[in-house]
Amino acid sequence: KRRGRDLVHIYSESDQDSENLRDTIEWIHQLQQAIANDQIVLHFQPVIEIRTREIAYYEALVRLNIDNKLIYPGSFIPALERADDIKLLDHQVVAKAIKYLADYPEIPRMAINLSAHAFSDEKLTPLIEQKMMQYRVDPKRIIFELTESASLTNLAGTLRMIERLTQLGCDFSIDDFGTGFSTFTYLKQLPAHSVKIDGSFVKDMPDDPIDLALVRAIHEIARSLNKVSVAEFVENQETLNLLEEIGVDFAQGYHIAKPAPIHTFLSAEVKALVD
Ligand code: C2E
Ligand code: MG
Ligand code: MG
Ligand code: MG
């Protein structure tokens, strides 16, 4: 329509490419603005240990706060991941998250999401180490979540980074497990301590026997590899009960708590989140 009336335009792949490119360029600009104006904020979502119902850690989730309106990562991360500039965001998130750990000793541990590009980023590991030193944060309080897209293509680089940070005491978790192209290769190659079962399998567990079977199977695989299992998208009590029955170790989701600013969780009243 933009091109005018009475004009047939054949849609081709390169149109998609140029649209993606435009989108990426706009978000890079937006990100740079947000960094300059200090508009990058972290919200936190608790993860409970199912056995005790206690908060084991908080996952840091990034948002852009532009004119008091929050923009969620679903709208900008895919665009930024098409470019190297996602590294800028990773740097911001890592620095902020580690500062939170220093400012709030009552946070037991924190999970930080890393983008697919993080593993080809030579500067990231030194930055993480520098921030942990600067703020005197125990590396044992940090879990890094990687998605399967986080490149088996650069396996050597990925392994080097994981090895170094594991040596220091950080843990690694495979995020959104079960949705990638090479799930099992990933599981085999990466020394992760935990597997986060993708929410798409967890969400409908009570009504969908296939999902229930898949969650059970993923948990068994994790356990036989000496990894702990985490379920995301726990949206009701029935799901939590089923996960407990299966033996899944940790749970996260709207039924337990929605992501929110950290002070929401650190006030004394919020102790028991679920039955
Ligand atoms: P994720 O790491 O798998 O995070 C879970 C997402 O699911 C979060 O969305 C969270 O708000 C949402 N969620 C949590 N519980 C429930 C539930 O019970 N039901 C449903 N339907 N959704 C739930 P969010 O915050 O929009 O983040 C989306 C994705 O963006 C994240 O998926 C993660 O891959 C990425 N992301 C978030 N923060 C960062 C970051 O700081 N750096 C990088 N590189 N990626 C990030
Ligand atoms: Mg995550
Ligand atoms: Mg996840
Ligand atoms: Mg997910």
Token pair 């900008």 in the structure block, residue:
76
What spacing in Å lies between the alpha carbon of 6 and ligand 3's midpoint? 46
Length of the chain (residues) = 275
Helix axes 86-103, 124-134, angle to 10 degrees: 20
Q: Which residues surround ligand 2, an ion (CB under 5 A)?
A: 113, 145, 175
Q: Which residues line ligand 1 (CB under 6 A)?
A: 45, 60-62, 72-74, 77, 90, 93, 113-115, 145, 147, 175-176, 199, 232-235, 253-254, 259
Are 251 and 53 within 8 A, CB to CB? no
CB burial of residue 269 (10 Å; 0-12, 13-18, 19+): exposed
Q: Is the pLDDT of residue 18 over 60?
A: yes
Cα dihedral 181→183→184→187 (10° resolution): 140
Q: Which residues are CB-neighbours of 118 under 8 A, at least 6 positions away?
A: 87, 90, 124, 146, 150, 161
Percent of the chain, pLDDT > 70?
A: 91
The Cα 77–Cα 56 span in angstroms is: 27
CA angle 159, 27, 176 (to 5 degrees): 40
Rounded mean pLDDT of the chain? 91
**Residue 103: per-residue pLDDT:** 98
pTM: 0.93
**Helical residues (DSSP H) of the chain, grouped into ranges:** 13-36, 73-81, 86-103, 124-134, 155-168, 183-189, 199-202, 209-224, 237-246, 263-266
How do residues 75-130 score in pLDDT, each as one tens digit? Answer: 999 899 888 889 999 999 999 999 999 999 999 999 999 987 888 899 999 999 99
Tell me the pairing of strands 110-114 and 54-66: parallel
How do residues 193-211 score in pLDDT, each as one tens digit? Answer: 999 999 999 999 999 999 9
